[in-house]
Chains A and B, each alone.
Chain A
Amino acid sequence: AQRVTQPEKLLSVFKGAPVELKCNYSYSGSPELFWYVQYSRQRLQLLLRHISRESIKGFTADLNKGETSFHLKKPFAQEEDSAMYYCATHRYTGANSKLTFGKGITLSVRP
């Protein structure tokens, strides 16, 4: 069964500090991995996905198959980055498609 682990519930940093939100997965096969974000009073939305290899709002995430990790990083945190972040993995087998989310982590960026 696929599983996503976000080991920390809360990360609090000062503005300008580096950020790393951890995500580990267990999956047999080639995973598709995503980070979703929920800002205060907004809907849950996609931040980035590993297949795109893109940087969104200064965030990047690299898939490390050896460590089965997909950590989200940003070199200099901004106050507007404060939000709830969820790591997720997609599994598709035949006609069955399933997206599994981790428990999420709250990022708090202090001025």
Chain B
Amino acid sequence: EAGVVQSPRYKIIEKKQPVAFWCNPISGHNTLYWYLQNLGQGPELLIRYENEEAVDDSQLPKDRFSAERLKGVDSTLKIQPAELGDSAVYLCASSPHRDPGELFFGEGSRLTVL
């Protein structure tokens, strides 16, 4: 069974530029998460989707971050414009359960903002 697929794995941009990350969850997993992981810290939830509906986006900085999951399968996370403090790893995870439960993570997209 294929795991959670994320791209790109690495991205280096200058501040104020836009960036987008893509995630394809495990087949059949209706719940999709985007997490932010700063160096030396645990993942922090940005947004959670149940199918195409964003059910928890309270931690998403909506002035510059946006996300979509139009057909309830793959998802895109966008930052525009990027700031220096956005340098981090952006993790996508999926779960077959509605409740948080056990998550299956992708390998992450490492963003460096110069």
The answer on A and B forming one complex is no
